[in-house]
Amino acid sequence: MAKASGTLYVVATPIGNRKDFSARAREVLAAVACIAVEDTRHSAPLLREFGIASRLVSLHEHNEAARAAELIDILKAGRDVALISDAGTPLISDPGFRLVNAAQEAGARVCAVPGPSAVTAALSIAGIATDRFIFEGFLAEKTAARRERLAALATETRTLVFYEAPHRLAESLADMVSALGGARQAAIAREMTKMHETLYRGSLDALAAAALRDADMSRGEIVVVIAGADATQERAGEAGEALLRVLLAELPLKQAVDLAVRASGAPRNALYQKALGIKADKPGE
Ligand code: SAM
């Protein structure tokens, strides 16, 4: 792209409290030729409140590819464009990846205007190790897919972070207890920066039980943070997998899993999913 190309600014907006809208974010949004927003009806009141009158164009998961091409043309014409999402940082469980990629590919300058994101906000208050973490976004809606994913995370030693829909919280916590064990320390950060902000902390067992009792716990927006597996769980997982590989060559799947669980102490769900994976990798065995 010619030197005179415009800049794509990827701008974070508040996740609740509007005072978290940074001065730089407001300045950039007021100055660009147009702002790509997930939902114009959602973002218009926020932008109006701060006197930002730049043109809005909608960019969501269903029109992103086509819209990205139009926005690249604006950049090529030397004008600046901004991208925001409904709340927080674009691209974090939100659309924008295709646009950012297309802008990079077209040689445009892409600048971050960082700010709030629920993942970092939750980690910053959970009181669970943050030196290494993995962000899993939303778990699948379908029960089988959700359990399969959780089983695959059973021996993960890094802190786990999930976004969760309120109506699925109790069900997901129950699945997390089965897959990861109820003793793990966890935190549920609800409605951060808003009037009903609440942080619930405790073992996964205790939080799963509380979610069934306390309807408030699953109201509003929610992030779940869970401590990673400890070294014992990690070793049990490794030992269980090694045993499975030997046993599966000789025994039916269920029997191999039963024995590997008994001998290693690894979680059943995790070894069962692992066994399915091993079988799928070696069909006919
Ligand atoms: N891009 C956003 C970000 O940077 O955090 C996330 C968008 S994602 C579609 C929305 C999810 O983020 C919600 O379902 C919830 O899990 C989490 N979330 C957003 N705002 C939150 C808040 N104020 N408190 C707790 N969780 C929040």
pLDDT classification of 3: cutoffs 50, 70, 90: low
- 94-105 mean pLDDT: 96
Q: What is the pLDDT of residue 173?
A: 97
pLDDT averaged over every residue in the chain: 93
Measured from the CB, is residue 85 less than 6 Å from ligand 1? yes
Spatial CB neighbours of 242, under 8 Å, sequence gap ≥ 6: none
For a mutational test of ligand 1's pocket, the pick from 160, 192, 223, i.e. the residue with the most ligand atoms closer than 8 A to its C-beta, is 223
> What tens digit of pLDDT does each residue of 57-71 get?
999 989 998 899 999
| Residue nearest atom 20 of ligand 1, based on CA coordinates | 15
Q: What is the pLDDT of residue 61?
A: 87
Measured from the CB, is residue 92 less than 6 Å from ligand 1? yes
Give the distance (Å) from ligand 1 centre to CA of residue 97.
17
Measured from the CB, is residue 117 less than 6 Å from ligand 1? yes
> What tens digit of pLDDT does each residue of 176-191 get?
999 998 999 999 999 9
Q: What is the pLDDT of residue 285?
A: 46
97 has a pLDDT exceeding 60: yes
pLDDT classification of 208: cutoffs 50, 70, 90: very high
Measured from the CB, is residue 193 less than 6 Å from ligand 1? yes
Give the distance (Å) from ligand 1 centre to CA of residue 138.
10
Give the distance (Å) from ligand 1 centre to CA of residue 182.
25
- 85-108 mean pLDDT: 96
Measured from the CB, is residue 224 less than 6 Å from ligand 1? no
- 208-218 mean pLDDT: 94
Q: What is the pLDDT of residue 31?
A: 98
pLDDT classification of 1: cutoffs 50, 70, 90: low
Give the distance (Å) from ligand 1 centre to CA of residue 221.
6
283 has a pLDDT exceeding 70: no
> What tens digit of pLDDT does each residue of 107-153 get?
999 999 999 999 999 999 999 999 999 999 999 999 999 999 999 99
